[in-house]
Amino acid sequence: MSETTFSKEELERYSRHLIIPEFNIEGQRKLKEAKVLIVGTGGLGAPLLLYLTAAGVGNIGIVDFDVVDDSNLQRQVLFTVDDVGKPKVEVAKKRLQALNPHINFTTYNTRLTSENALDIIKDYDLVADGTDNFPTRYLVNDACVLSNKPNVYASIFRFEGQVSVFNYTDQEGITGPNYRDLFPTPPPPGLVPSCAEGGVIGVLPGIIGSLQANEVLKVITGVGEPLSGRLFLFDALSFETRVLKLHKSQDSSSITELIDYEQFCGIGEETGEKYKVKEVTVKDLEQLQIKGEDFQLIDVREPYEYEIANMGGELIPLGYIEEEVNKIPSDKQVVIHCRSGVRSAQAIERLEKKYGFTNLYNLKGGILAWADEVDTSLAKY
């Protein structure tokens, strides 16, 4: 077996690794031989990819289906203004190759699915999960369990981050907990933050993604103790960090195949035939305005959303809709809107069922559709 060697340029590039006694050229060799798959090139993927590329991980796979959007640039430091609209994996590869030409990149400009996950993952030693939704998190976890690969996990929300190393098999052959040991089932859609409650402070993925990258390097090289069987928590507001113990709470053999993760997470069920509200399109609304019809526009978003962009509607946040029910007329047409149409539909359902309104119309697609089709000067968020 031929041993991995380094060129003069590589030795010089990695010299700060090579002079760490417990890391040295052996650690660097393991990095060069390693095959790491990064799922998601968003906030977490950016520092992950930059640091793993800089550190000399020899083979890096990048999965993402998305294109670069203006709203990514607040935290996804891989991308620039010129990249907006381009496929993320292609932009990332170009940027990373410029950073380190000694790395082999493979890109997958696709969504990771139950159909392709095992086939993509099989070529890698390790997966780093930098995704942003529950279905893909369970998919990555289950695919790693089925493929016997470690899953270096990180997750962020607003000011809070989590890091762990799942499904890691130690030198004694004992495999640690996986994501399902921590959270056997996902929260139902109604109990996870809605579009009014998302957001992440831009630096946080930089902090958490860098810690995730560090765990990837540790797992590959065997240097230090990987964060297996432990969950790291970081609160950027209070600057409190904690490391909690994780246990295997279920037999991982219960994961036998990849399933429909959208269904598992209850996504799609809510938009079924649950309750129908009357709708108007943004074009209908524009006509109402042009014709000077007597109607009222109500905005059920939060005040901080109103500050970003508004259509001049009366602001009654969804949480106050019943308290402020007297402000809603019942004798003329009322159009209710939110960001994309989900919260306004909830408001109408509540008002119709509880107060018997029959004159309420949901603005289809919300202010986002209005910004797309009618007033393109409005900021989308």
- Radius of gyration of the chain, Cα coordinates, nearest whole angstrom: 25
- Kindly indicate which of the ranges 133-141, 252-260, 287-295, 310-318 contains the residues binding another protein, using the contact rule CB under 8 A: 133-141
| Nearer Cβ to another protein (105/157) | 157
Of 191-220, binders to another protein (CB under 8 A) are: 191-193, 195, 197-200
CA distance 367 to 372: 9
* Least CB distance to another protein at residue 132 (A): 3
- One DSSP character per residue, 229-257 reads TEEEEEETTTTEEEEEE----S-GGG--S
Q: What strand order describes the sheet that includes 333-337?
A: 279-280, 360-363, 333-337, 295-299, 314-315
Give the residue among 248, 213, 216 at the shortest CA–CA distance from 230. Answer: 248
| Nearer Cβ to another protein (47/56) | 47
Q: Contact between 370 and another protein (CB under 8 A)?
A: no
Of 151-190, binders to another protein (CB under 8 A) are: 155-160, 162, 182-187
**What is the dihedral sign for C-alpha 24, 29, 32, 38?**
negative
| Active site (annotated) includes residue 195 | yes
* Least CB distance to another protein at residue 335 (A): 23
Q: Contact between 366 and another protein (CB under 8 A)?
A: no
Give the residue among 32, 227, 199, 64 at the shortest CA–CA distance from 130. Answer: 64
* Least CB distance to another protein at residue 160 (A): 4
Which of 33, 90, 125, 132 is in the footprint of another protein by CB under 8 A?
A: 132
Neighbour-count burial for 243-270, b at 16+ CB within 10 Å, e otherwise: eeebeeeeebeebeebeebbeebbbeee
Classify residue 379 by its DSSP letter: P
Q: Contact between 243 and another protein (CB under 8 A)?
A: yes
End-to-end CA gap in the chain: 54
Angle between helices 282-290 and 366-373 (to 10 degrees): 70
Which of 24, 59, 114, 133 is in the footprint of another protein by CB under 8 A?
A: 133
* Least CB distance to another protein at residue 187 (A): 4
| Nearer Cβ to another protein (18/182) | 182
- Kindly indicate which of the ranges 18-26, 88-96, 125-133, 273-281 contains the residues binding another protein, using the contact rule CB under 8 A: 125-133
Which entry of 25, 73, 195, 277 is annotated as an active-site residue? 195
Q: Which residues contact 359 (CB under 8 A, 6 or more apart)?
A: 329, 330, 331, 332, 333, 334
* Least CB distance to another protein at residue 319 (A): 9
* Least CB distance to another protein at residue 359 (A): 29
Q: Which residues bind another protein (CB under 8 A)?
A: 42-43, 131-134, 137, 155-160, 162, 182-187, 191-193, 195, 197-200, 231, 233, 235, 237-238, 242-247, 249, 339, 381
Catalytic residues: 195, 338
